[in-house]
Amino acid sequence: MYLAKILITLRKSILDPQGKAVRHALQSLKLSGIEEVRIGKFIEIKISSKNKKEAEKIAEEACKKLLANPVMENYTFSIEELPA
Amino acid sequence: MYLAKILITLRKSILDPQGKAVRHALQSLKLSGIEEVRIGKFIEIKISSKNKKEAEKIAEEACKKLLANPVMENYTFSIEELPA
């Protein structure tokens, strides 16, 4: 069993109004030094596959076909093996 | 300038209906081996502070006061220095 940890972030050129709202909220809580906030997704998928290579292929396909919007988002992931 | 990368995940005991929906969607795309999906947030904050220690303190406070719901969520973060 493998665990894919997937990070999905907005591309740099895309405005992030949710991040802007969070920045304002943090500033009104008197937290100093907050310059920019960007919000993305973190997705964990447990994959049962023969080996790590295959788990990578499945995670890649999941990102491409469903999880990330290629026009607006980037994705990266890492795969780790779970103890049986 | 520092970049805090914050991961917010649902606690294990909390049901994740969004993750369940994504799992079903991946399975109906004929992706094999998908056992479980859990969805969290990934938040990047640029912090201007004197040193890494202070940036850590600000990130910790942001998580506690606003970003994570301590009843339902866990958070972890890492801080890296950005080139000036």
Rounded to whole angstroms, how far apart are CA atoms A48 and A36? 38
Binned at pLDDT 50, 70 and 90, residue A84 comes out as confident
Residues of A engaging B, defined by a Cβ cutoff of 8 Å:
1, 7-9, 19, 22, 25-26, 29, 31-49, 54-55, 58, 61-62, 65-67
**pLDDT at residue A27 in the model:** 95
Report the pLDDT averaged over residues A64-74. Answer: 96
Of the candidates B38, B44, B47, the beta carbon closest to that of A38 is on B44
For residue range A28-62, what is the model confidence (pLDDT) as tens digits? 999 999 999 999 999 999 999 999 999 999 999 99
With pLDDT > 90 as the criterion, what percentage of chain B qualifies? 98
Beta-carbon separation of A42 and B7 below 8 A: yes
Strand B2-10 relative to strand B34-47, pairing: antiparallel
**pLDDT at residue B8 in the model:** 98
Helix (H) or strand (E) holding B74: strand B73-81
CA dihedral for A40, A46, A47, A51, sign (positive or negative): positive
Alpha helix (H) residue ranges in chain A: 17-28, 52-62
The separation between CA A30 and the C-alpha centre of its own chain, rounded to angstroms, equals 28
Beta-carbon separation of A40 and B39 below 8 A: no
With pLDDT > 70 as the criterion, what percentage of chain A qualifies? 100
* Minimal C-alpha gap between B30 and chain A (Å): 10
Rounded to whole angstroms, how far apart are CA atoms A75 and A69? 9
- Structural domain boundaries of chain A? 2-81
**pLDDT at residue B84 in the model:** 75
Binned at pLDDT 50, 70 and 90, residue A81 comes out as very high
| Whether residue A22 has pLDDT greater than 80 | yes
Beta-carbon contacts below 8 Å between A and B: 110
Beta-carbon separation of B66 and A9 below 8 A: no
Q: Which two tokens stand for residue A22?
A: 């969070």
For residue range B13-44, what is the model confidence (pLDDT) as tens digits? 999 999 999 999 999 999 999 999 999 999 99
Q: Determine contact, residues A72/A7, Cβ cutoff 8 Å.
A: no
**Domain spanning A2-81: which CATH class is it, in words?**
alpha beta
Rounded to whole angstroms, how far apart are CA atoms A56 and A4? 8
